[in-house]
Amino acid sequence: MESSAAKAKPQGRLLVSTQLDAKDELEEKLERCVGIVQALTNGLSEREANDALTANVCKGQQQHEEVCLGLFTLVLTEPTQAQRCYRDLTLLNRDGMNLILVKINQILMEKFLKLQDVPRTQLVWLVRELVKSGVMGTDGVVMTLQKQIAGGDISTKNLWLAESVLEILLDQKEWVLKSGMLIAMSVYTYLRLIVDHGAPNLLILRQKEVDFCISMLREKFMECLIIGRDLVRLLQNVARIPEMELVWKDLLHNPQVLSPQFTGVLQLLTARTSRKFLACRLTPDMETKLLFMTSRVRFGQQKRYQDWFQRQYLSTAESQSLRCDLIRYICGVVHPSNEVLSSDILPRWAIIGWLLTTCTSNVAASNAKLALFYDWLFFNPEKDSIMNIEPAILVMHHSMKPHPAITATLLDFMCRIIPHFFPPLETQVRQGVFNSLTFIMEKRVLAHLAPLFDNPKLDRELRSMLRERFPEFCSSPSPPTEVKMEEAASMELENHMLEKEESCYDPTEAAFSDDEEEVNNKGKKREFRFHPIKEAVIEEPADITPWLNQLDDTMKEKVQQLQKTSDTETQCEVMQEIVDLILEEDFDTEQMSSLASCLAELFKDHFRGDVLPEEITEESLEDSVCRPVCLIFRNLVTMQEDNSGFSVLLDMLAEFYQKQPKIGYHLLYYLKASKAANGKMMLYESFAQATALGDLHTCLMMDMKACQEDDVRLLCYLTPSIYTEFPDETLRSGELLNMIVAVIDSTQLQELMCHVMMGNLVMFRKDSVLNILIQSLDWETFEQYSTWQLFLAHSIPLETIIPILQHLKYKEHPEALSCLLLQLRREKPSEEMVKMVLSRPCHPEDQFTTSILRHWASKHDDTLGEHIKAQLIKNNNQPRKRQSLRSSSSKLAQLTLEQILEHMDNLRLSLSNTKNNFFTQTPILQALQHVQASCDEAHKMRFSDLFALAEEYEDSQAKPPKSRRKAPATSPRSRKGAAPPTNNEEESASSSASEEEDSKPKAPKRKRKGSSAVGSDSD
C-alpha cells in the first residue's frame, strides 16, 4: 500500500523532483495560490472571473499577494492561458508588478536549474512581456536572466537561453537604451559569449551577438565605459572578427569616433572593473560553490570539491574559456576577511593554482594567466585593492617549493607581458607592475621578493631576465639570517602547510609544466593513499562552548548531557531526545548549524577507525550501527517522505555533512547493514539532494572517495549495493571503478569477481563499457589489469569493446593489449574483429596483429580466410591515398590496403617455416590476384613475395600449365618483361622493360586460357 501511495504522489508542474524529494516550499506556496485563483474563477465567465478576482484583491495585502502569485504561476505552467493570465495580472496588481519581479528574481537565483522545460520557456516569455509593457525594474530581471547564461557551455538549453535573451534586447532596443547599467552588462555578457560561439553551426547566433555589441559600443560608448579595464580584455579576445576589428582599431587609434569624451584606451585601462561585472559571468550555482570553497572548506580537504567543480563545469573543450571568468571573479570579488585569511580555510591562491594547472589548452592557459595579472598592469595603490593582486604573488610564492615549474611560468609571463601587452603603453605597464610589487611588500604580503625572483630553482635565463626587469627586488637589503627572521611568520606557515601544498593542485595535469619527472610520475598523484594520518595522540575534550551559547535552553541542556556521558546506550537515549526536539513544530531551524557543529565535535571519535566489523555476521553488523549518530539515520528510515519532519531531519543531516563529510558514507553503510533500513537505500538520494551539492552523482562520488581514503574494506563491502541501487550514477563513467581498483588487493579483486559471477554485482553495461575501458588506459598497471579481470567476469560480448584496438599503442598500452590478446585467442574471428585487428599500424616491434592472426590461421583458417578476402577486396575497390598510418598517430587507426598487405606479409613470414596451409586457400589467393591486378608498381615491388603466391596459384589454374600469357595494358605487373624473352631476366632490365611495355600496344583483355603468362622470379 505504501509503495502504491508513493507512486501516486503527484509531481509538481514547476520544478523537477523525484518521489523522494521533500516538497519545495516555494512550489508548494505557488500551487496553493493557483488553487485559490481557480476556486475563485471556476465555472465563471471571463468578466465574472475578473470581477471575483478584483473583489478578492481588495480585501487586503495577503489576498492581493495570493491572486498575483496564482496568476503568475498559471503563466509559467499553462502556456495556453498565459496571455489571458498576464492581462489579468497587469489589471489586478497594485504594486507596479514589484511582487512578481521579486519572485522571478528568486526563481532565477535559486530554482532556475530545477525548472521544468515548460516553466523555463514561459519564464523567458513573461520577461519579454514585462519588457514590452515597460514595467519599472524589469532591467534588473533581464540582468539576472543573463547571469544564468553559462560561459563555456554550448549545450542546447544554454544556447537557447542566450539567443532568447538577445532577441529581447534586439526587439526592444529603445527600452534597452534607457538603462545605462543594462547596456553595459549586456555588452559585457555578449562580448564574453562570442568567444564560445565560434563553431560553424553557431555563426548565425554569433553574428547577431556581434551586431548587437557593435551597435551598443558605437551608439552608447560612454555607458559601456563604466565596465572599466575588463572591456579591453574582452574586446581583445574578439578583435579578429572583421566587424569587431574596426571597433578595436578605433578604440586604439581613433577614440574620438566612439565618443568625444573618450580620451583613449589608457582611460579604460586605468579604471578598475566593478565587482558586479566580474560576478555577472558566473551562474548563481557556480558562485555559490566557489564562495562555499573559499569560506567553508579547509585547506587540504578541497580535492573532492575541486573534482566536483571540474566535472560539472570544466570537463569539455569549450569550458576552458570559463577559467578566465573564474580567476577574474576570485581576484576581484572574493575578498576574505582577516579572520578567514588567518584561519585554515582554503586560500584563493590554491584555487587559482588548481585552475591554472588543470588547463588543457595553451590559448586558455595564456588567457588565464592574463586574467590573473590583469590588475597588475595598470595598478594604482590609491584606486586599486591589494586583494586584487595578492593571489598572483602567493601562487608563485607557494608553488616555488612543490611545483617550481608553475612559478617559473608565471614569472616569465609577468616579465614578457610588460613589452608585449601594448607597446605604446610599455612605460605605464612597467610602472603598474612595479607599483604592484612595491605595494605587496608595503602590505607585507611577502616580506621580500628576492627569495622568489633570485631562487636557484629558476633557470639562469629567467633569473637574468628578472634581474634586468626588476633589479630593485632581486637583492635582499639584509643578510640571509635576518631575512629569515623577518619572514618568520610566512615561513612558519609554509613549513606547516607544505604537505597540504603538495595536494592543492595536481601538477601531473599542468598544461605548461616542463618538469619531466613530475609529469611522468603516474604514482605520485595517489601518494596520499599510502600515508594515512596517524591519530594515536589523545586529544583534550572537545570545546563546544561557542556553539552551545547559540542553542536554546532545552537543546543546550541535552547537548551538555550528551557531552558528559560516555556510555553508548545513554548517549543513544539522549540523542533520540535531541532528534525529538528537532522534530517538534516550534524547533528554530536557525540553530541547526550550531547544533551540527556540536554533534560533529562530540562524535568525532565515531568517525575514526574502522566501521565494518572484523567478522561480518548479522549480529556484528547490527552492533556496528547502534551508535548515537545512527539515531538520525534510524529516524529518517522509519519516517514517511511526506512527513513534515522528514525534510527537517534531512536538513539537519545536510548541516552535519558540511561539518563532517564522512557522515555520507556512514549513511550508506547504515542503509546496507541495518535490518531496519532494508530496501531503503534510495533514502540516500534524498539526502544528496538536501546537501549543498544538491546532486546525487557528485555526492555519491565524494562519499565513496572519502570511504576509499579511510577504509578500503568498507568500500568493497558497499560496492555491490552502490552499483545495484544507483546504476545510472555508477555505470556511466569510470570514476567509481577507478577509486575501487586503485586501492583493492588481489583478494578483494577476487571477491568482487565472485560477486559479478554470482549476479550480485554489475560493474559494466554494453552502452558504456567501451568508454570506461578507454578511460582506464591512463590508470596504473594493476588498476588496468584489475579492470580487465572485472570486465571478463561479465558476460559482455567481446565485439562490444573491440573498437578499443584503435586507441591502443603497443608501447603505451601493454596491459590492455595483453588482456585483449588472451581474450581474442578464445574467440572465433568475426568480420569486425578481423577488421579491427588489421587496422592496427604496422611496426616491427608490435607483434599483436601477427600473433593473433597466426593463432586464428591455425584454428579457424577458413573463417579468417573469408574475412581477410572481404577486407582486401573492399579496400582495393576504394580510392587509394597512399599514406603511412605511422605518420598520423594522433588519429584513430584507419584500415588501408597497404596496411592489410603489410600484416599479410608479416603473417606469411611467421608461417614460412611451418606446415600451415593458410596461404594455399582459394579465397586468399583469389583476393591477392584481385589486388595485384589493380595495384601500382610500388606495391607490387614491395609485396612481390606475397603476390608470387597468387601467381603460382594462377599458373596452376592455367591450361596448358606451361603456357605463357602477356600482361594486359590495363594492369602491368611489377618485375615483368615487356616481351617474353627469357625467364631469368634481371630485375633492373625487368623494370626498364616495364616502362617500355607501357608505350607498346597490348592485348586489351586478359584471358585465363589460350594466352601465355609473363615470366616472373617466382616461376
> pLDDT tens-digit profile of 487-546?
333 333 344 444 444 444 543 333 333 333 333 443 333 333 333 333 333 445 566 777
**Cβ 510 vs Cβ 357: under 8 Å:** yes
- The pLDDT of residue 1005 is 39
Percent of residues, the chain, with pLDDT higher than 90: 38
Residue 57 has phi, psi (to 5 degrees) of -60, -35
Spatial distance between the Cα atoms of 525 and 750, rounded to a whole number of angstroms: 26
**pTM, entire model:** 0.54
| pLDDT value, residue 11 | 65
Q: Please give the residue that has the higher pLDDT: either 521 or 317.
A: 317
Which of 353-357, 530-534, 593-597, 855-859 has the lowest average pLDDT? 530-534
Asked whether 917 and 907 are in contact (CB, 8 A), the reply is no
Helix (H) or strand (E) holding 397: helix 386-399
Choose from 227-241, 352-366, 571-585 the range with maximum mean pLDDT: 227-241
- The separation between CA 522 and the C-alpha centre of its own chain, rounded to angstroms, equals 21
Mean pLDDT of 412-425: 93
The winner for highest mean pLDDT among 192-206, 796-810, 851-865, 974-988 is 192-206
827 neighbors 797 (Cβ within 8 angstroms): no
Q: Read off the pLDDT of residues 670-680 as tens digits, 9 standing for 90 and up.
A: 899 888 888 88
End-to-end alpha-carbon separation of the chain, Å?
Answer: 87
Of 214, 294, 209, 292, nearest in space to 247 by CA: 214
DSSP label of 592: H
pLDDT of 860 reads 87
For residue 228 the three cell numbers come to: 572599466
Residues 6 or more apart whose CB falls under 8 angstroms from that of 636 comprise 646, 649, 650, 653, 683, 687
Count of CA atoms in the C-beta half-sphere (13 A) of 98: 4
pLDDT of res. 731: 86
3-state secondary structure 42-72: CCCCHHHHHHHHHHHHCCCHHHHHHHHHHHH
Backbone angles phi, psi at 642, to 5 degrees: -85, 0
Position 313 scores a pLDDT of 93
Strand partners, 298: 345
**Matching residue, cell 607483434:** 847
Dist. CA 977–CA 991, nearest whole Å: 8
pLDDT at position 863, please?
87
Residue 716 in this model has a pLDDT that exceeds 90? yes
Residue 1000: count of CB within 10 angstroms of its CB: 9
Lowest mean per-residue pLDDT among 73-77, 96-100, 378-382, 533-537 = 533-537
pLDDT tens by residue, 678-703: 888 888 888 888 887 778 888 888 88
**The pLDDT value given to residue 481:** 33
**Helices (DSSP H) in 878-1002: which residue ranges?**
897-911, 922-932, 937-942, 944-957, 987-999
Average pLDDT over residues 819-830: 88
pLDDT at 956: 64
pLDDT tens, residue by residue, 985-996: 334 434 343 433
pLDDT tens-digit series, residues 882-905: 444 333 333 455 678 888 888 888
- Average pLDDT along the chain: 81
pLDDT mean over 573-583: 86
pLDDT in the model for residue 986? 39
pLDDT of residue 256 exceeding 60, the answer is yes
**Three-class SS state of 240:** coil
pLDDT at 826: 87
Poorest-confidence range of 409-413, 439-443, 473-477, 996-1000?
996-1000
Give the pLDDT of residue 451. 87
Q: What is the pLDDT of residue 892?
A: 52
**Cβ proximity of 154 and 199 under 8 Å:** yes
Question: What would the grid cell of residue 664 be?
Answer: 555520507
Q: Any idea which residue has 484583491 for its cell?
A: 57
Question: How many Cβ atoms from other residues are within 10 Å of residue 800's Cβ?
Answer: 16
Give the residue-averaged pLDDT of 419-437.
Answer: 94
- How many Cβ atoms from other residues are within 10 Å of residue 465's Cβ? 18
Residue that wins the pLDDT comparison between 336 and 600: 336
- Region 451-460 average pLDDT: 87
Distance CA 687, CA 664 (A): 9
142 pLDDT above the threshold of 90: yes
**pLDDT given at position 680:** 84
Predicted confidence (pLDDT) at residue 247 exceeds the cutoff of 50 = yes
Task: Tell me how far apart the alpha carbons of residues 949 and 920 are, in angstroms, rounded to a whole number.
Answer: 8
Is residue 838 very low, low, confident or very high in pLDDT (cuts 50, 70, 90)?
confident
Bond from prior residue into 546 cis (ω within 30 degrees of 0): no
Angstrom distance (rounded) from CA 93 to CA 70: 12
Contacts of 282 by beta carbon, 8 Å cutoff, 6+ apart? 147, 151, 290, 325, 326, 329
- Is the pLDDT at 579 greater than 50? The verdict is yes
Q: Is the pLDDT of residue 617 over 60?
A: yes
Confidence of residue 623 (pLDDT cuts 50, 70, 90): confident
Count Cβ atoms below 10 Å from residue 560 Cβ, excluding itself.
Answer: 14
Give the Å distances, CA to CA, from 656 to 467, 556, 607, 648: 52, 17, 13, 12
Mean pLDDT of 97-112: 93
Does 144 score more than 90 pLDDT?
yes
3-state secondary structure of 15: strand
CA distance 1010 to 629: 96
More confident residue, 198 or 568: 198
Instruction: State pLDDT tens for residues 723-748.
Output: 999 888 888 778 889 889 999 999 99
Q: What band does 393 get if pLDDT is binned at 50, 70 and 90?
A: very high
Span 762-778, average pLDDT: 88
Residue 23: what pLDDT?
79
Tens of pLDDT, residue by residue over 149-183, are 999 999 999 999 999 999 999 999 999 999 999 99
Q: How confident is the model at residue 239 (pLDDT cuts 50, 70, 90)?
A: very high
> 658 pLDDT exceeds 60?
yes
